[in-house]
């Protein structure tokens, strides 16, 4: 089959890791008889350098015309990069928020699980985690809440005051809840909905709507958890979680925490989906400007994001399985990148990509 895939190399280590994921996709195309046509899209600092803005409308249209988009990572070091001297709406992150909003990518899936092979990298003792590790997916609402509410910075009675607005309507809550329950049906059938319903009206509405949605899924167990407790539970007993659904800002924070608990943030993929099959796929980690250009970044999170893309947007399940199996074999045979090496010999970005691509079958 023929597919058009948008590729956003982005900033920092982004170009290095996306190149490896494309290598793996090329191996999939050759092995399974597909044609992948790539369209490069500029987003973030890379776009600022060329166009002066982090995402042009043309770039949005190019992305819209693709079957799916694979992204590396965007942004630079806020302390030193000239991009951060620009006003907030012109900085790299604004491009990411724009593409999410313009393409309606409201459902952000962020899996976090403990790799058996990398158990020692987990910062929490096995006696706390339990023998079976953990395997959760955070379903983060991505186009509402504080990120997209009205903002005002003004002087009120001689005092500088800034306001950010957190708003959700029931439709926005319902569609993300439905996604979370659908995913739970294919997993261990448990949903933890995270909110701050002891304080926020938006959370009380969230809870009410999630409960309504739950009625359509009698097989799924629903529990509610306050966000502060959830932050604690993630390091206390991560194995209790299956699907965690939450609003934009809470999901941003909790997904970073969850990924760190795995000890292998360089391995975690993510997907941002809209109402159709279209999605934007990117590693859970950032652009790591400190190691950019050194050829040592771990490309696995991006390669696994490409696998998610094959599965969710292109309906190529066998091909997605093949990519995941190649990554598993790569690790099982003792291959490591520097972030997960623990003193062993390790491979650079490109050598790791070559090896994984060579294991596609």
Choice between 67 and 252, CB closer to ligand IPM:
252
Q: Closest separation between CB of residue 152 and ligand IPM, Å?
A: 20
For the CB of residue 251, give the shortest distance to Mg ion in the complex, in Å.
9
Catalytic residues: 147, 196, 228, 252, 256
> Is position 46 an interface residue for ligand IPM (rule: CB under 6 A)?
no
Does the footprint of ligand IPM cover residue 102 (CB under 6 A)? Answer: no
96 forms part of the interface with ligand IPM (CB under 6 A): yes
Interstrand relation of 190-195 and 243-246 (parallel, antiparallel or unpaired): parallel
Here's the x/- map for Mg ion, 206-245, by CB under 5 A: it reads as ----------------------------------------
Looking from the CA of 103 toward its CB, the CA atoms found within 13 Å total: 32
Shortest approach of ligand IPM to residue 286 CB, angstroms? 7
Residue identified by tokens 């490591």 is 336
- Beta bridge partners of residue 270, listed in sequence order: 282
- Centre a 10 Å sphere on the Cβ of residue 51 and count the other Cβ atoms it contains: 13
Q: Which residue is nearest to ligand IPM (CB)?
A: 93
Reduced to 3 states (helix: H, G, I; strand: E, B; else coil), residue 204 is helix
Q: Copy the structure tokens of residue 128.
A: 């706390």
- Helix axis angle for 201-214 and 170-185, nearest 10°, is 40
Based on the shown chain and the rule CB under 6 A, indicate whether residue 247 belongs to the binding site for ligand IPM: no
Taking the C-alpha atoms of residue 21 and residue 26, their distance in angstroms, rounded to an integer, is 9
Q: Considering the rule CB under 6 A, would residue 252 count as an interface residue with ligand IPM?
A: yes
Residues 50-89 that bind ligand IPM (CB under 6 A): 75
- 252 interacts with Mg ion by CB under 5 A: yes
Q: How far is the CB of 179 from Mg ion (least distance, A)?
A: 19
Q: Site for ligand IPM (CB under 6 A): which residue of 26, 39, 77, 93?
A: 93
CB 202 within 8 A of CB 93: no
Instruction: Report how far Cα 195 is from the mean position of its chain's Cα atoms.
Output: 20
Kindly determine how many residues on this chain lie close enough to bind ligand IPM according to the rule CB under 6 A.
4
Tokens of 248: 């934009």
The span from the CA of 59 to the CA of 49, in Å, is 14
Positions in the binding site for ligand IPM (CB under 6 A) = 75, 93, 96, 252
């Amino acid at each position: 089959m023929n597919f058009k895939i948008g590729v956003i190399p982005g900033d920092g280590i982004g170009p290095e890791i996306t190149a490896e994921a494309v290598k793996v996709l090329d191996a999939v195309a050759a092995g399974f008889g597909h044609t992948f046509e790539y369209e490069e899209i500029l987003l973030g600092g890379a776009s600022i350098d060329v166009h002066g803005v982090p995402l042009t409308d043309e770039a949005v249209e190019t992305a819209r015309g693709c079957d799916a988009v694979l992204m590396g990572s965007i942004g630079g070091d806020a302390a030193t990069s000239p991009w951060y001297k620009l006003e907030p709406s012109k900085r790299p992150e604004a491009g990411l928020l724009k593409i999410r909003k313009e393409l309606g990518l409201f459902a952000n899936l962020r899996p976090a699980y403990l790799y058996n092979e990398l158990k020692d990298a987990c910062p929490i003792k096995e006696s706390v985690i339990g023998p079976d590790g953990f395997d959760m997916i955070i379903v983060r609402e991505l186009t509402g809440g504080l990120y997209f509410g009205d903002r005002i910075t003004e002087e009120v009675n001689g005092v500088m005051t800034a306001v950010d607005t957190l708003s959700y309507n029931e439709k926005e809550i319902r569609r993300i809840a439905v996604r979370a329950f659908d995913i739970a049906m294919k997993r261990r059938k448990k949903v933890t909905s995270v909110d701050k319903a002891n304080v926020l009206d938006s959370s009380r509405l969230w809870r009410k709507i999630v409960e309504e949605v739950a009625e359509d899924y009698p097989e799924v167990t629903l529990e509610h958890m306050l966000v502060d407790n959830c932050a604690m539970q993630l390091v206390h007993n991560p194995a209790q979680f299956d699907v965690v659904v939450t609003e934009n800002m809470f999901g941003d924070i909790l997904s970073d925490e969850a990924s760190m608990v795995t000890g292998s943030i360089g391995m975690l993929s993510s997907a941002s989906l809209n109402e159709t099959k279209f999605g934007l796929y990117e590693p859970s980690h950032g652009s790591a400007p400190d190691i950019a250009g050194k050829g040592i970044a771990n490309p696995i999170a991006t390669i696994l994001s490409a696998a998610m893309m094959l599965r969710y947007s292109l309906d190529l399940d066998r091909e997605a399985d093949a990519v995941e199996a190649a990554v598993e074999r790569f690790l099982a045979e003792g291959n490591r990148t520097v972030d997960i090496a623990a003193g062993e010999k390790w491979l650079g970005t490109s050598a790791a990509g070559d090896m994984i691509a060579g294991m596609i079958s």
